[in-house]
Structure 1
């Protein structure tokens, strides 16, 4: 008598393994498409009450830095440098947060290493 695997274990008549593989492939395709879309987006973040504005791409490339004239004080260059650093770091966090939230919509919270 030949042993049969119960349904749902890949070898049984249910073919669940094939369905799971197709679903995994679809998730990967959806994630790759979404990742490309997210990388094309631009994100704008402000720091210092709007004194410094950073525009960054989804690939984390700074596209623009806008400074309000009142923040440019030749006597206090360190404050301006700190504001720019804060704005860039906030912009990067913003991109990463948006990308994570968007990917979680596809994966249902599953970890997919190497996708971002």
Structure 2
């Protein structure tokens, strides 16, 4: 009884599953390392000349808010509304920077022509 390798039809001596698995493991390790570096990164987002600055981790988590003294007294509802808007705008500024960092760090690993079927960075939630 002869056993035929179904991958012989591909030519070049068949299909090296071990090499493919090794490549997949290396890509997974690189992806995990990049994600850890992003988690340790903190980006500042600022608005109104530094009146409000927020700190956002490389994975998009808000980790700090700084409000410059003297800009807001808190006694006026419009003043507080403006402050709220500035915090949101500063977060969006920082989040855009984080998204760019994630795309740069994970793009080649998460969907840049690696293994078929690997999710792109957008599918990973970054």
- TM-score, with structure 1 as normaliser: 0.75
Give the distance between the partners of 1:80 and 1:99, measured in 2 at CA: 28
1:82 pairs, out of 75, 82, 85, with: 85
Question: 3-state SS of the aligned residue for 1:69?
Answer: coil
Q: Distance in 2 between matches of 1:115 and 1:68?
A: 32
Distance 2:67 2:50 in 1: 9
Question: Which residue is 1:96 aligned to?
Answer: 99
Deviation per CA, 1:34-64, whole angstroms, max 9, x where unpaired? 1012111111111122211111222433222
Quick check: 1:51–1:71 contact (8 Å CA) kept in 2?
yes
RMSD value, Cα: 2.7
Q: Normalised by the size of structure 2, how large is the TM-score? A: 0.70
Residue aligning to 1:23? 23
1:12-51, Cα deviation, whole Å (9 max, x unpaired): 6354433222112211111011101211111111112221
The answer on whether the counterparts of 1:32 and 1:115 sit within 8 Å (CA) in structure 2 is no
Alignment partner of 1:42 is 2:20: no
User: Aligned equivalents of 2:125 and 2:54: distance in 1?
Assistant: 25
